[in-house]
Amino acid sequence: MPLNLEAKRKKTAISLTPLIDVVFILLLFFMLTSSFVAWRVVDTPLSAPSTDQATPPVEQVKFTFVLKQNDGFVWLDQQRIGLQDGEFFRDLIQQNSEALFILDAEAGVNLQSLLTLADQLKLQGAKTVSIANAFKEHGAAHNP
């Protein structure tokens, strides 16, 4: 009778522990590299007012802020104001609480600068903020 000296092979099971470790490491990586930013909504009326109003609109005090560059400053009546000057905005809004604050941005100004100004006005208590040239096409021919 021949001797069978070969040991019986055990079935090898594939361990899932390293796979689970890799998945958790990837999950941890994506959680730590993600940015969690609180989203804020700034109400800006962009539609034209309806023409079927029975009463004429009440004349409202208007302040037009002009953003000329992305340099952190805004212009109001030929006066240069820093976007982070909360005291100026707070005083202006307290004195003119029912005023309409119009934001006008020249070509080349990015959306972040525009929203920083709108956010500053809203934080200081402005009730009505509007974007003046939301639908203006830059570079289009002007037909009077």
Angle of helix 111-123 relative to helix 86-95, nearest 10 degrees, comes to: 60
For residue 79, being part of any structural domain is answered with yes
pLDDT of residue 13: 79
For residue 107, being part of any structural domain is answered with yes
Between these two residues, 44 and 17, which has the higher pLDDT value?
17
pLDDT tens figures, 19-47: 999 999 999 999 888 877 666 665 555 55
CATH label of the domain that carries residue 87: 3.30.420.270
Q: Which of 6-10, 56-60, 114-118 has the highest mean pLDDT?
A: 114-118
Could you list the residue range(s) of the whole structural domain that residue 106 is in?
62-131
| Residues 67/114, Cβ–Cβ less than 8 Å | yes
Strand, coil or helix: what is 134? coil
For residue 109, being part of any structural domain is answered with yes
Whole-angstrom distance, CA of residue 89 vs CA of residue 82: 10
pLDDT tens figures, 63-91: 888 888 888 889 888 888 888 888 888 88
For residue 76, being part of any structural domain is answered with yes
For residue 41, being part of any structural domain is answered with no
With b for 16 or more beta-carbon neighbours within 10 A and e for fewer, the 75-105 pattern comes to beeeeebebeeeeebeebbeeeeebbbbbbb
What's the number of domains the chain is made of? 1
Helix (H) or strand (E) holding 53: none
